[in-house]
Structure 1
């Protein structure tokens, strides 16, 4: 799970549907990636950071939290 990405998406009022569309992937693929069941590629991570217009390190934005830690 990527809670920082989800939080920044909420701040930017970016829905999963809109994010997936702008990334050129399906909503299902984005959901799998955000849930940690599939990995983001580095170019995808960079694109998300740009789309969200955040000024935090990519490592912090994509800090992964395992379900048992949540």
Structure 2
């Protein structure tokens, strides 16, 4: 799961359908990618970063957290 990305979306009150449209994916597909079930392509991540979160560190924004290691 991309917790940092999810947090920034909420913090900036960005609508997920807007992000999905910008990267050419459906809302459902975007949610699957954010949850970690499908990977973001580099191009998708770059578009999201440059269009919505240019002030954020790219690596931190797309840092993936592994829920299996949470105890």
TM category, shorter: 0.7 to 0.9
Residue by residue, what CA displacement relative to the aligned partner does 1:9-46 show, whole Å, maximum 9, x if unpaired? Answer: 11221122221122211011101110101010111111
Determine if the alignment matches structure 1 residue 45 to structure 2 residue 45. Answer: yes
Residue by residue, what CA displacement relative to the aligned partner does 1:29-70 show, whole Å, maximum 9, x if unpaired? Answer: 101110101010111111110122332321111110112345
Q: Name structure 1 gaps, 5 residues minimum.
A: none
TM-score (norm 1): 0.85
Q: Aligned to 1:68, what secondary structure does the other structure show?
A: helix
Which residue in 1 is equivalent to 2:24? 24
Which residue in 2 is equivalent to 1:60? 60
Quote the offset at 1:2 in angstroms. 0.3
In 1: Cα distance, 2:56 partner to 2:19 partner: 19
Q: Name structure 2 gaps, 5 residues minimum.
A: none
TM-score (norm 2): 0.84
Runs in 1 of length 4+ with deviation above 4 angstroms? none
Aligned residues: 70
